[in-house]
Amino acid sequence: MDDKLFEILEFGVYGASILLILIGLYAVLTKRSLIKIVIGMSIIDGGIHLLLITIGYLKGGTAPIFSPGYEEAAGQMVDPVPQALVLTAIVIGFGVTAVALSLIIRLYRHHHTLEIDEIKRLKW
C-alpha cells in the first residue's frame, strides 16, 4: 500500500474511533430520553472496540488463524490478544444494555414517561 495513503488511514481509523466515543459521550450527557442515553452507551462501546482492534493491527497482516496454506505465517499475523478482549467486551456490553433496557421498562411502568426531566428526583 502507498505510504501516503497509509498515513491517511492511520489518522482516519484513530480519529473515527475517538469520534465515536465522543459522540456517545455527547448523547449520554445532553439527551433527555432514556432510550437515547442507552444508545449513546452502545456507541461508546463500539468506539472502544474499534480502538482496541486498531491498536492490534499489523501492516499487511493476516487474521490470526492457521488455515491450510498459512501454517508458517505467524510473523505476519495481527495481534490476537485485543481481538479476544473485544470478544469478551462485546458480551459484557450486551449484558449491560439488556439490564439498562429492562430498568427503563420498569421506570416507564411507574412514571409513564421516558423523559428524565419529567421524572422527579432524577434531575442533575
Partner 1 sequence: MKKFLVILILAVLGFHLFAAFSGLGFGVTRFEKGVKDFYLEKTVSELHVANTVTSIVVNFRGFDTLGEVTVLFLAVSAMGGILYKRRHHAGDRSVLFSSSSIVRSGSKLLFPAIILLGVYIFIHGHLSPGGGFQGGAIIATGFLLMLIAYENFSVSHNTLSYIESFAGIFFVVIGLLGFMNGGTFLQNFLPAGILNNLFSGGVIGIIYVMVGFKVAAELTGLIYTILHEKD
Residues that bind partner 1 (CB under 8 A): 6, 9-11, 13-15, 18-19, 21-22, 25-26, 29-30, 51, 54-55, 57-61, 63-68, 71, 74, 77, 79-81, 83-84, 87-88, 90-92, 94-96, 98-99, 101-103, 105-106, 108-109
Q: Count CA within 13 A, CB hemisphere, residue 123.
A: 4
Nearest to 34 by CA among 121, 92, 93, 119: 119
Residues facing 33 on adjacent strands: 115
Rounded CA-CA distance 74/113 in Å is 55
Question: Using an 8 Å Cβ cutoff, are 58 and 77 in contact?
Answer: yes
Beta carbon of residue 122, minimum distance to partner 1 (angstroms, whole number): 16
Nearest approach, Cβ of 36 to partner 1 (angstroms)? 14
Give 99 or 122: the residue with its C-beta nearer to partner 1. 99
Smallest distance, partner 1 to C-beta of residue 39, A: 16
